[in-house]
Structure 1
Amino acid sequence: MESDDRAARVKELLVDCYKPTEAFISGLLDKIRGMQKLSTPQKK
């Protein structure tokens, strides 16, 4: 799933949230990208 698609999906889930969500979504996507880099197996 592309980053834009993920952001749109999270915005949908947080539509009823009364607090600002942009910073939260940005940080969440950064963490997801970092986790993906850690879980990618290294080729020998």
Structure 2
Amino acid sequence: MESDDTQAARVKELLVDCYKPTEAFISGLLDKIWGMQKLSTPQKK
């Protein structure tokens, strides 16, 4: 799995032509991705 910094850099590249501020969007997106990954990780018994 890629680090948060690597994921953020990739998203910034995709949003390079976006005229709105992207920092808050990227931060929220990474938080949601992290939360989804945490939920999908099987729990050890």
Q: Same fold (TM over 0.5)?
A: yes
**Percent pairwise identity:** 95
Q: Over aligned residue pairs, what C-alpha RMSD do you find?
A: 1.2
Deviation at residue 43 of structure 1 after TM alignment: 1.0
**8 Å CA contact 1:7, 1:29 repeated in 2:** yes
**8 Å CA contact 2:4, 2:30 repeated in 1:** no
Structure 2: runs of 5+ lacking an equivalent = none
Other structure's SS at 1:31 match: helix
Other structure's SS at 2:30 match: helix
User: Number of aligned pairs?
Assistant: 44
Structure 1: runs of 5+ lacking an equivalent = none
Q: Could you tell me how far apart the structure 1 residues matched to 2:25 and 2:38 are?
A: 20
